[in-house]
Amino acid sequence: MTATLENPATEVGTVPSFEVTLRVRRYSPESEHGEESTWDEFTVTAHGTDRVLDALHKIKWEHDGSLTFRRSCAHGVCGSDAMRINGRNRLACKTLLKDVNPDKPITVEPIKGLPVIKDLVVDMEPFFASYREIMPFLITSGNEPSKERIQSAEQRERFDDTTKCILCAACTSSCPVFWTDGQYFGPAAIVNAHRFIFDSRDDGATQRLEILNDKEGVWRCRTTFNCTEACPRGIEITKAIQEVKRAMIRRAF
């Protein structure tokens, strides 16, 4: 009746179906293992365009309903499913199985540095608390204009990169400084500070720089570039952090 796609994605992609094994880190305090985390292996059949998230869904839907992870949009814009895949922080919905060498078991773990609640789900509250602390909102003084504030295309471009952040925590939880010191604001909070510090409409840069000048602020960054590599949105995070550092020294933004 309807012109549906009987056998769709496989023809579009180039890789035919294949078997893939996932080695997943499990943690469920209610289970027989209690506070101990364990590894489970699952083998599922995947197709050319399948992502790690598809494989996790196959496991959950066909093998073990108790496997727990967050996900929503499934195409890399909501930021729910950041996890450690073969030792690198990625979004499960944006990582194609064929791109992470499916010939060997693919290791899937929760992101590091945040308390694990169950399996791949971590407590995001400490992450969002740091975000809230840097005053992630436009701060203006004077009267509200009756129409829009004027901003040139160049001024708008100045902070474009850091507006892409989806708060998935892939960057912060890839940062060795954050692993050893959970008090560190972390890359994501700094990225969101950058987004406002360099917005020509904003008058709150001094306050934000004051906050980030803290001993747990930008100076903890050791420019290891883990965050830039981890960002699923391709934000040049380390560069943004450097720009915030420079702004702090020169008081120019």
Tell me which residues in 67-96 interact with other proteins (CB under 8 A).
68-80, 94, 96
Between residue 141 and residue 160, which ones bind other proteins under the rule CB under 8 A?
Answer: 144-145, 147-153, 155-156, 159-160
Shortest distance in whole angstroms from residue 151 CB to other proteins: 5
Q: Chain centroid to CA 143: how far? A: 37
CA distance 179 to 89: 13
Nearer CB in complex with other proteins: 54/175:
54
Residues 21-40 binding other proteins (CB under 8 A) are 28-31
CA–CA gap between residue 204 and residue 206 (Å, rounded):
6
Residue where the block lists tokens 């008058």: 203
Query: Of 33, 104, 132, 246, which one interacts with other proteins (CB under 8 A)?
Result: 132
CB 252: neighbour CB atoms within 10 A? Answer: 8
| 155-172 burial code (b ≥16 CB/10 A, e <16) | eeebbebbeebbbbbbbb
CA distance 243 to 130: 19
- Interactions with other proteins, residue window 171-210 (CB under 8 A): 196, 199, 201-202
- Considering the complex, state which of residue 185 and residue 196 has its C-beta at the smaller distance from other proteins: 196
Minimum distance from residue 238 beta carbon to other proteins (Å): 20
**54 or 220, CB closer to other proteins?**
54
